[in-house]
Amino acid sequence: MEASPQSISYVQKDRLLLILVMGLVGFGLIMIYSASGIIALKNYGDSFYFLKKQMIWTVIGTAAMLLISKVDIDIWKRLPLPLMGISYLLLLLILIPGVGSEINHARRWFRFGPLSFQPSEIAKLSVIIYLSAYLVKKDEKIRDFFDGFLPPLILTGVMFLLIIAEPDLGTAVVIGIGSAAMLFIGGARMGHILGLFVSFLPVALALVLNIGYRRNRITAFLNPWEYSSTTGYQIVQSFLSFGNGGILGTGIGEGRQKLFFLPEAHTDFIFAVVGEELGFLGSVSVTLLFTFFLWRCFRIIRRHWGSFEGYLSAGISIFIGAQILMNLCVVTGLFPTKGIALPFLSFGGTSLLTNMIMVGILYAISGRSPVKYPLEGHRYYSKKRTFRKKSGAGNLELPLGGDF
Amino acid sequence: MGLFNREIFNRSKWRRFNILVIFVIAGFLAVIARLAHLQLFKGEALAMKAERQHQQVIDVEGERGIIYDRAMREIAVNLDMPSLYGTPSSIEDPWKVAKKISHEMDIDSSLLAKRLDNDRHFVWIRRRVPPEDVKKIGDMNLKGIGFIPETRRFYPKKELIGHLLGFTDIDNHGLEGLERHYEKLLRGKKGTILLESDARHRPVLTSTLFDPLKGNNLRLTIDEVIQYIMEKELAAAVDKHHASDGVGIVMNPYTGEILAMAVSPRFNPNTPGNYTSEQWRNRAVTDVYEPGSTFKLVVASGVLEEGLISPNQIVHDGRESMMYGGAVIHDPHPTNQPMTFKEVIAHSSNVGTAKIGITLGKDRLYKYAKTFGFGEKTGIDLPGEVNGIVRNPATWSGRSLITISIGQEIGITPLQLITAASAIANGGWLVKPHIVSEITDSSGNIKGIKPELVRRVISASTSRKMVEIFKEVVGPNGTGKLAAVDGFSTAGKTGTAQKIDPETGKYSRSRFISSFVGFVPAESPEIAILVIVDEPKGIAWGGSVAAPVFKRVAEQTLLYMHVEPTEREQLKIMAEN
């Protein structure tokens, strides 16, 4: 049942969400400078090399976020297939030698002068929008295999394989897990989802065991200290960073691990630099800031549950949340090493831009009053939240009314 | 949709979402628990491991810049003196290693063993080891022992140019002289190096975060040969007259380039500890003295520039003494004949000069002293330069006008005097003296230092008249005739100043400062030279003590510089032969 346009009303947008994100990005700039300044001076003769780039992307990202937050949410409902098409095109183009720029045997970027652009990041966004629109459209038909479950499986599956081919396992894993989670909350049959996992297991095993550096990452993960001078080097250096930070940390800019020892200090392992320079108090504070961010997301999702906005905000939160959690787990050695950046904090332009666009969409959704409360009657609402309903809110329709 | 209940479906989807949320919460809790584990419970152990690792990061000094003379001869260089270090964590038997090392070099075996007997990653054993010890210890090929390249400043010319160069401390930081003045430029940039062990546990320098950068090289205006000539002749004069010390400067009067600057007695900058700080001082710029008659150039230039007196005008009746301001001044060699202005200066008559000074007057004398650069720093690129003492006329006593006219009651530096004399030599311009002519950075870019003019002091015509008068000084009847350089017309002025006796506080009759300042060839000078001999015993006249030094230095320097003698003079020499 579609809401009539007249019934859409607007409420105060979630400013706190925006403040939180800008705070995290600003903090990220400080940490990026601290982590990269000396290396940048050595390699590029300019200690602000990475900071400048990230600042340009911050400006672009902030502008994009504010712009997107003004856009009517319903537009995204009409765009999923064009967006998927563009993503596919870019992901195919980048694999052509000479078009995509190759760094460390990986073709992940388009270069535009000083800035580089990573299409797999845009792919994430299109998958989220596509799945949200699809889940709303199919509704309970998602439980059907051929008419419901299979089409998104194929579309995201091929995309997953294209990103693996770059190779960019980290982003592929995020898209895989994120898509599966969206199908899961979208009501797909558990049998289908379990079947997907079971059939993917041999593929995953083959991938992990065949490609040397990934296997090494697994063995290093299982016993980092034994491989501390080879494959476990990075994670051991991350441990030493956290340990060196202790409770209070060495102070911003005073960390020594980033000098020779901790690789990728300003990108994937920036949280280890936070841990060293700001100590346990700093690393826990940052972790809590991320959970606080996710809680703001949760509030938005709950209000829009069951609608396109609900799926969209849930998808965005799942993708960003998965990246945050996976990065934190990798850096603290709870998860094998993968190339996953920490949203808002790590150096990386396209990733920052995409994440800020996603926050822009969330911000727009937060300003939209739900046309109905789909969870009305759910114990969550009936027991705890009924007192919030005002007698004047008589325009609220009965939950899911009309269909039966 | 008969059997399908949408409400139940929607709620089940919400339940599923909440399951995800629970997973995420669990994940974050796991991360926080893990952070507590790493940072709180295992924090100290990990920090110790990190600390040991960080000991491997070593700062290495960049090499100090080289100092060259005018002709690119090296006068301050660096010797390779590697520093010996150990990596105790890879040494199995510290006592044995310590014994082996102490066998080869002077170091306490048991103290060293204690230093090596721990699990640190890095300790210094000895900084800056002489090359022969480096070889002996290197040949032993010890596990966990290695050298890091370092350097030590060395002055291959020993005492020569010592006062100008100054010296550095053990860490190669400039403490005196040019080393101090140009510390920022000369000093190399620190590099950072990571030290690791090879497969056989011998330490190796692995990666470099920053290469140490060499400091800037300096090229001086000093010429080693001219400096040598000046130092040699000055020392000979100080020795001959049993003087306490001496100062000598050779300068290009047009550009202010210092060709030589000597202080006697000399000191060896390689071993500054063997001398007192008194002996390190570059008296040419740090010490103030009363110049005596050489200072008459100020009053003489003043009256000429003001047009008060012409060179051949009779200004003095030749009497031996005069009273002024309650004091009497004397001429040591009175002529008792009327004297022209020119003759007054040529014979350095104090009474005559006093009369000229009275004609010029207090304020104008003060003005010309200041214009010639007295009482202010010349701005030379050396540390410790002083202003000198030129008192304001308001504080002068009754006799000050005449005593200042003849160069007493005033404090100047030797460098100020030669710069003032250069203004007469070069047509009236005060130049800024300088020592460094080129600065070359570590990538080879050369920055040249251009000569600087400070201001016009006197007109070109006044300067020509002064040159004529100064030539008379060196002429057959002048006080400075011993300064005359064969084959060249020479101009200059003698000076014999009385020093203040520190016991009585009055001018002493036995302590003098003898000096001569001049330039040659007089009409188009190549060099200006100042010679000061402090407290010569016996005959103390500037014309007898300092003027001959001027002559010998000028002769040798002009020969070295391939300056052709002026023709007329040559003919005269040939006729005499």
Q: Which CATH class is domain B224-268+281-576?
A: alpha beta
Query: In B, which residues are within 8 Å of A377 by CB distance?
Result: 7
The C-alpha of A27 sits at a distance from chain B's nearest C-alpha, in angstroms, of 20
CA B451 to chain centre: 17
pLDDT of residue A147: 85
Per the rule left: phi > 0, alpha: psi between -120 and 50, beta: everything else, B124 is beta
Q: Is A152 exposed, middle or buried (0-12, 13-18, 19+ CB in 10 A)?
A: buried
pLDDT tier at B265 (50, 70, 90 boundaries)? very high
| Cβ pair B38:A239 closer than 8 A | yes
CB contact under 8 A, B6 and A404: yes
- Residues from chain A contacting residue B14 (CB–CB below 8 Å): 305, 375, 378, 380
Contact assessment for residue A358 and residue A42, using Cβ atoms and an 8 Å cutoff: no
Cβ separation A187–B50 shorter than 8 A: no
State the DSSP string of B396-452.
Answer: --TTHHHHHHTT-S-BB-HHHHHHHHHHHHTTSEEEE-BSEEEEE-TT--EEEPPPE
Q: For residue A322, what is the nearest residue in chain B, using CA coordinates?
A: B24
**Record: contact B12-A291, CB cut-off 8 A:** no
Give the gap in angstroms from C-alpha B443 to the nearest C-alpha of chain A: 14
| Interchain pair B46, A184: CB under 8 A | no
Q: Please judge whether A243 and B192 are an interchain contact, meaning their C-beta atoms are less than 8 angstroms apart.
A: no
| B180: number of Cβ within 10 Å | 18
3-state secondary structure chain A: CCCCHHHCEECCCCHHHHHHHHHHHHHHHHHHHHHHHHHHHHHHCCCCHHHHHHHHHHHHHHHHHHHHHHCCCHHHHHCHHHHHHHHHHHHHHHHCECCEEEECCEEEEEEECCEEECHHHHHHHHHHHHHHHHHHHHHHHHHCHHHHHHHHHHHHHHHHHHHHHCCCHHHHHHHHHHHHHHHHHCCCCHHHHHHHHHHHHHHHHHHHHHCHHHHHHHHHHHCCHHHCCCCCHHHHHHHHHHHHHCCCCCCCCCCCHHHHCCCCCCCCCHHHHHHHHHHHHHHHHHHHHHHHHHHHHHHHHHHCCCCHHHHHHHHHHHHHHHHHHHHHHHHCCCCCCCCCCCCCCCCCHHHHHHHHHHHHHHHHHHCEECCCCCCCCCHHHHHHCHHHCCCCCCCCCCCCCCCC
How many inter-chain contacts (A to B, CB under 8 Å) are there?
136
| Contact status of B207 with chain A (Cβ, < 8 Å) | yes
Q: Give the pLDDT confidence of B39-64 residue by residue, as tens digits.
A: 999 888 888 888 877 777 777 888 89
Indicate yes or no: CB of A287 within 8 angstroms of CB of B32: yes
Provide the number of structural domains found in chain A. Answer: 1
Question: Which of the 8 DSSP states describes residue B524?
Answer: S
Within a domain: residue A402? Answer: no
Chain B nearest CA to A287, separation (Å): 8
Count CB neighbours of B30 within 10 A: 16
* B8 Cβ under 8 Å from any chain A Cβ: no
How far apart, in Å, are the Cα atoms of A70 and each of A4, A41, A64, A392, B206? 20, 40, 10, 29, 54
pLDDT of res. B249: 97
User: CA torsion, points B359, B365, B368, B373, in degrees to nearest 10?
Assistant: 150
Q: Which of B9, B10, B35 sits opposite A283 (nearest CB)?
A: B35
Say which of A41, A243, A260 has its CB closest to residue B57.
A260
Q: Identify whether A314 is part of a domain.
A: yes
CA distance B195 to chain A (A): 11
DSSP H helices, B92-242, are: 94-104, 109-116, 131-140, 162-165, 177-181, 183-186, 224-240
pLDDT tens digits, one per residue of B116-145: 887 777 788 888 888 888 888 888 888 888
Q: What is the pLDDT of residues A60-97, one digit of tens each?
A: 999 999 999 998 888 888 888 899 999 999 988 888 87
Residues B79, B151: Cα–Cα separation, whole Å:
5
Please give the Cα distance from A363 to A293 (Å, whole number).
Answer: 12
Kindly report, residue by residue over B205-251, the tens digit of the pLDDT. Answer: 666 777 788 899 999 999 999 999 999 999 999 999 999 999 999 99
Residue A305 burial (CB count, 10 A) = 24
Give the CA distances from residue B134 to residues B59, B63, B99, B126, B156, in Å, rounded to whole numbers and listed in that order.
20, 19, 16, 11, 22
Nearest CA in chain A to B210: A42
Smallest CA–CA separation between B73 and chain A, in Å?
Answer: 34
Using CA coordinates, name the residue in chain A closest to B2: A404
* Highest mean predicted confidence (pLDDT) among A100-109, B48-57, B83-92, B184-193: B184-193
Shortest alpha-carbon distance between residue B37 and chain A (Å)? 9
Do residues A271 and A342 lie in contact, with contact meaning Cβ atoms separated by under 8 Å?
Answer: yes
How confident is the model over B278-319, as pLDDT tens digits?
889 999 999 999 999 999 999 999 999 999 999 999 998 888
Which one of A192, A332, A383 would you mutate to disrupt binding with B, by most B Cβ within 10 Å of its Cβ?
Answer: A332
- B42:A243 CB<8 A: yes
Q: How close does chain B come to A196, measured CA to CA in Å? A: 17
Residues from chain B that touch A314, judged by Cβ atoms under 8 A, are 17
In a domain, A54, yes or no: yes
Of chain A, the end-to-end C-alpha distance in Å amounts to 12
Buried b (16+ CB within 10 A) or exposed e, B236-264: ebbeebebebbbbbbbbbbbbbbbbbbbb
Are the C-beta atoms of B546 and B514 separated by less than 8 Å? yes
Tell me which H or E stretch contains B126.
strand B123-126
Residue A57 falls inside a structural domain: yes
In a domain, A3, yes or no: no
Q: Does A263 sit behind a cis peptide bond, omega within 30 degrees of 0 on the bond before it?
A: no
Of A243, A257, A374, the CB nearest to B43: A243
Closest approach of B26 to chain A, Cα-based (Å): 10
pLDDT of amino acid B262: 95
Q: What is the ipTM of this complex?
A: 0.88
Contacts of B195 in chain A (CB under 8 A): none
**Residue in chain B nearest A374 by alpha carbon:** B10
Q: Which residues of B touch A301 (CB under 8 A)?
A: 17
* Minimum Cα–Cα distance from B25: chain A residue: A291
Domain contains A270: yes
- Quick check: is A216 in a domain? yes
Which residues of B are less than 8 Å from A47 in CB distance?
none
Nearest beta carbon to residue B32 from set A240, A284, A403: A284
CB contact under 8 A, A334 and B31: yes
What residues contact residue B312 under an 8 Å CB cut-off, 6+ apart?
Answer: B340, B341, B342
With CB atoms and an 8 Å threshold, state whether B43 touches A275: no
pLDDT by position in tens, chain A (length 404): 444 444 556 778 889 999 999 999 999 999 999 999 888 888 888 889 999 999 999 999 999 999 999 988 888 888 888 999 999 999 888 888 777 777 767 777 777 766 777 888 889 999 999 999 998 888 788 888 888 888 898 899 899 889 988 888 888 889 999 999 999 998 888 888 888 888 878 777 776 666 666 666 667 677 777 777 666 788 888 999 999 999 999 998 888 888 778 888 898 999 999 999 999 999 999 999 999 999 999 999 988 888 888 999 999 999 999 999 999 999 999 888 678 899 999 998 889 999 999 999 999 999 887 755 555 544 444 334 444 444 444 444 444 433 33
Chain A CB contacts of B31 under 8 Å are 287, 325, 328-329, 332, 334
Q: Residues of B with CB below 8 A from A284's CB?
A: 32, 35-36
Measured in angstroms, the CA of B143 and the nearest CA of chain A are apart by: 20
Alpha carbon of A185: minimum distance to chain B alpha carbons (Å): 5
Are A301 and B17 an interchain contact pair (Cβ–Cβ within 8 Å)? yes
By residue range, what is the domain housing residue A283? 10-374
The neighbour count for residue A161, using CB atoms within 10 Å, is 12
pLDDT for residue A404: 32
Amino acid sitting at position A258: K
pLDDT at position B40: 92
Cα of A60 to nearest chain B Cα, Å: 30
Whether residue A224 has a cis bond before it, omega within 30° of 0:
no
**Contact yes or no for A314 and B17 at CB 8 A:** yes
Contact B7 A399 (CB under 8 A): yes
- Average the pLDDT over each of A213-227, B88-102, B515-529 and give the range with the smallest value: A213-227
For A162-197, write each residue's pLDDT tens digit: 998 888 888 888 999 999 999 999 888 888 888 888
Residue-wise pLDDT for B422-454, tens only, equals: 999 999 999 999 999 999 998 889 999 999 999
Tokens standing for residue A182: 């969206």
Secondary structure class of B544 (helix, strand, coil): helix
User: With an 8 Å Cβ cutoff, are B50 and A140 in contact?
Assistant: no
> In angstroms, rounded to a whole number, what is the distance separating the alpha carbons of residues B451 and B432?
7
What residue of A is the nearest CA neighbor of B8?
A378
